[in-house]
Amino acid sequence: MAELHLVHVNVNAVRSKHAELQLYMTEKKPQVVLLNETKLCGRSLPGFAGYRAVAFRDRTVTKLCGGGVAILVSRDCTASDISPDIDDVVAILIQAGRMKIAVVSYYCPPGNNKLDTDTLESYLQQYEHVIIAGDLNAKHQFYGSSRTDARGEELFDLVERNNLFCANDPKARTRHVVNTGYSELLDYVLVSKQLVSRVSDCYVGECIGSDHLPVHLVLQLNYQISTVPLRVIRNWERSDWPRLGVVLSDAEQHYSNGTMSSEAEIDARVGEITS
């Protein structure tokens, strides 16, 4: 494959959205489709033309309706099921030439639940190339959410701790509630450091009938792309801390030493520091 095209979406009941989702998949032609909140509640997962369900799990713990996750793969793509025995998490291993890519679909419902970072990190430790996508119900302003909550802090720590790349466009919200006008960024696509240079696009697609919009990720596989997405990645391992200290020390000599007693003087000092 020259490229790998994945789509994640909280479908909010896959059986009722079957026609819309099938049409969308036929138009966009992704190789991998990750579904959250299938809400099968004991019923069978419907079939989709041109795709096979490699991994799916209905919610089993407490037998509650809701939740459920699945990964559909186009029939020309080689993949196997590597899912854990855990509700709301499924995973597959894609064979793309000599490269193996672990793809994890994870749904973390709203409420007091914490992110299952142990399960996610188990894949990051086992595989070099990993993609994690899901409705995490996490909010962090660094990624584009309107505010930061406790689960957003957990997500931020997970990304920083494992040198992950959040591929989302921070300006693109993924959930829209039509009757209230509320919108938020709740669905994330995380990529391991070894795959960052292969990310060519990440964007939000059109509505398929759910209040969540599809999030697309496109990877270039058979060659290194000449440019990478314009995202700020803080790679601590490559930071030259001694040189940073010298630069800051030199810069401080050019700052004004006078007392600031007005808004204009504070703004001027901020301008100096920024420069």
Residue 164 CA: distances (Å) to CA of 99, 142, 233: 18, 14, 9
Measure the CA–CA gap between 239 and 244, rounded to whole angstroms: 8
Give the pLDDT band (50/70/90) at residue 200: very high
In this prediction, residue 126 carries a pLDDT of 97
Chain-centroid distance, C-alpha 231: 14
Please list, residue by residue across 21-54, b when 16 or more beta carbons sit within 10 angstroms of its beta carbon and e when fewer do.
bbebbeeeebbbbbbbbbbbeeeebeebeebebb
CATH topology of domain 3-220: Deoxyribonuclease I; Chain A (3.60.10)
Instruction: List, in order, residues 6 or more apart from 135 with CB less than 8 Å away.
Output: 10, 36, 37, 107, 108, 186, 187, 212
Residue 151: which of 105, 112, 190, 104 has the closest Cα? 112
In this prediction, residue 177 carries a pLDDT of 85
pTM, two decimals, is 0.80
Chain-centroid distance, C-alpha 42: 28
In this prediction, residue 240 carries a pLDDT of 85
The larger pLDDT score, comparing residue 59 to residue 115, is at 115
Q: For 90-107, how does the pLDDT look when each residue is reduced to its tens digit (9 = 90+)? A: 999 998 878 899 999 999
Is the pLDDT reported for residue 182 higher than 90? no
Residue 99: which of 130, 74, 76 has the closest Cα? 130
DSSP-derived secondary structure letter, 210: S
Is the pLDDT reported for residue 224 higher than 80? no
Q: How many residues does the chain have?
A: 275
The fraction of the chain above a pLDDT of 90, given in percent, is 68
Is the pLDDT reported for residue 11 higher than 70? yes
The fraction of the chain above a pLDDT of 70, given in percent, is 93
Instruction: List, in order, residues 6 or more apart from 155 with CB less than 8 Å away.
Output: 115, 136, 138, 140, 143, 188
Residue 25 CA: distances (Å) to CA of 8, 18, 51, 111: 11, 10, 9, 31
In this prediction, residue 211 carries a pLDDT of 93
Could you state, in order of their start, the residue ranges of all structural domains in the chain?
3-220, 240-274
Residue 135 CA: distances (Å) to CA of 56, 96, 185, 239: 16, 26, 9, 32
At residue 74, the 3 state secondary structure works out as: strand
Q: For 62-84, how does the pLDDT look when each residue is reduced to its tens digit (9 = 90+)? A: 666 789 999 999 988 899 999 99
Residue 130 CA: distances (Å) to CA of 45, 47, 111: 25, 26, 27
Q: For 148-173, how does the pLDDT look when each residue is reduced to its tens digit (9 = 90+)? A: 999 999 999 999 999 999 999 999 99
Measure the CA–CA gap between 109 and 126, rounded to whole angstroms: 26
Mean pLDDT of the region 116-140: 97
Measure the CA–CA gap between 134 and 187, rounded to whole angstroms: 6
Alpha helices in 61-218 (DSSP H): 117-126, 150-161
Backbone angles phi, psi at 131, to 5 degrees: -125, 130
